[in-house]
Amino acid sequence: MDILEHFRQTDALLEGHFILSSGLHSPNYLQCALALQYPADAARFGRAIAEHFTNENIETVASPAIGGLVIGYAVAAALNVRFIWTERQDGVMTLRRGFSVRENERILVVEDVITTGGSTRECIEALETRGAKVVGAASIIDRSGGAADVGVPRIALVSMQVPSYKPEDCPLCKAGTEAVKPGSRTKV
């Protein structure tokens, strides 16, 4: 399975010269939700992540909402375990909707994309403060190139560096190409 090829085909990964929502410029734009539109694709990625954890006695998969929901559910389905999620309430990642965890319950935390690892870390903290044992973390894409540390063993199906630049430092601008907002450009 060539994951990045699937991302390109579904426009989940664009290559060119983009203005990110942060205002920074980048040669790549990633929108994981587009790669997961078809359940069969999500299930395939879910199985690929699940294969790394078949010997870990995972009891539950948990994801930070919203980005982790589709892939987390797919991993839980592949492992045949339950699926729960954390979400922010007043800015703090927490368990809502009546979800609860047991003392020492073995949990795998799954996200679509890890950039700094921030939401995965917040999800882990929300679970561990309630007594669960987070035994691992996973994502489809690791945008940190392996650098993000979430405090538990972590895997990603694809590791990539996605550079971003201030407009005044952008080498693509210096090369004379025009930066575009994602969505205003067709796939390459």
Binding-site ranges for Zn ion (CB under 5 A): 25, 170, 172-173, 179
| CB half-sphere exposure, 180, CA atoms < 13 A | 13
Cβ neighbours of residue 88 under 8 Å, at least 6 residues apart? 65, 94
Q: What single-letter amino acid sits at 93? A: M
137 versus 170: smaller Cβ distance to Zn ion:
170
Q: Where are the alpha helices (DSSP H) in 60-169?
A: 69-79, 118-128
We find the least distance from the C-beta atom of residue 165 to Zn ion, in angstroms, to be 6
Would you say the C-alpha torsion 34, 163, 92, 134 has a positive or negative sign? positive
We find the least distance from the C-beta atom of residue 27 to Zn ion, in angstroms, to be 9
- Nearest residue (beta carbon) to Zn ion: 170
131 versus 171: smaller Cβ distance to Zn ion:
171
Instruction: Tell me the C-alpha to C-alpha distance, in Å, between residue 46 and each of 36, 58, 104, 132, 153.
Output: 10, 14, 24, 22, 18
157 versus 179: smaller Cβ distance to Zn ion:
179
Q: Which helix (H) or strand (E) holds 24?
A: none
We find the least distance from the C-beta atom of residue 135 to Zn ion, in angstroms, to be 41
22 versus 57: smaller Cβ distance to Zn ion:
22
Q: What single-letter amino acid sits at 77? A: A
We find the least distance from the C-beta atom of residue 161 to Zn ion, in angstroms, to be 17
65 versus 173: smaller Cβ distance to Zn ion:
173
Q: What single-letter amino acid sits at 55? A: N
We find the least distance from the C-beta atom of residue 167 to Zn ion, in angstroms, to be 6
